Structure 1
Amino acid sequence: MTFKGVIDSFGENSLGHGPYIKIPDTIFEAMLKLSPDKRIKCTLNYLVTVSRAMSPKGDFHYILLNKEVLKLANVTISDTVNVELQPDQSKYGIEITEEMEEVLFSDPEGSTLFHQLTPGKQRTLITIVNKIKSSQLRIERSFVILAHLKKLKGQIDFKILQQDFKDYRNKMRF
């Protein structure tokens, strides 16, 4: 489904600042039938496709963007963009790197704990790995995440996880 949307930005609120696109009600209702979990793939100006959720705000629904997406789509706040929405059929509602998939496959205990997390927490951890450009670092991050889950018996403490990443990197240095 396609429509023309305007890039807008939330003022300061509990979500913080953020560029977004309002979804027309008719498009939202039609997409909800195709994707009841509200996970979609959004393509802007035929240039960049991102996995997102259709989120509610008052009496409308929107797609939250970020500065990086705006830069890739070569747009700014108040620009009109071509928007294409389609259901996100991926397993996690976001693309997962091959490296993380392999680490999950190679560690059944860690994989079980990972899959017991809520889908949102799974996506957050996948995003942490997806941000890394180096294949080796993606593997390392994936291993550290699963070790963290095992250490905390299936729980996540992001402050401790950040320290776990640092400790692992420091341990690898000579």
Structure 2
Amino acid sequence: MAGKSNNHSRMARSPSHRPGQRRAKLDPFDRAILRVIQRDNKTPQRAIAEAVNLSAAAVQRRIAAMEAAGIITANTAVVDTAALGLAITAIVEVHLVDERAATVDAAKALFRADADVQQCYYVTGGISFVLVILSSDMVAYEETTRRLFAHNPAVATFRSLIALDRVKSGNNVPIA
């Protein structure tokens, strides 16, 4: 690749890459592109190029490089939960019986694999995990809590907070 500009090299994934770990220094053009595609990832590249003062080809190369580096982790659709009949959003605090690696890893695997768990965070501060769970109704939610928590010997306690209103949600990350 001598003589060619290689955007991938400045954003190469480090060998010890972990999700959420910073992998590359983003320049102002990268940040501007990210702002646009976080609002709507279906924005045509020519429109992004106009908005950030680059060529469409440069935008395409930069997006591909950010995807390869793991900076852009997915292109997804945000779905209206009510349209799918998912009326219950629960935020759940989970306390494990202990914080041994095997216990935590098993809980992570269980929560990651469960379709009702929309988000899962392993946290500090006296709680082991915070989860966001979607259910169609309270009967379905109770089934989920029994499956994940009540019948799970690794769970000491759990506490449910039922959302009354979704004031703000989404995946937009603040980009300086």
**Shorter-normalised TM-score: what interval?**
under 0.3
Report which of the two has the higher share of helix: 1
Report which of the two has the higher share of strand: 1
By relative contact order (CA 8 Å, sep 6+), the higher-ranking structure is 2
Scaled by the length of structure 2, the TM-score of the pair is 0.27
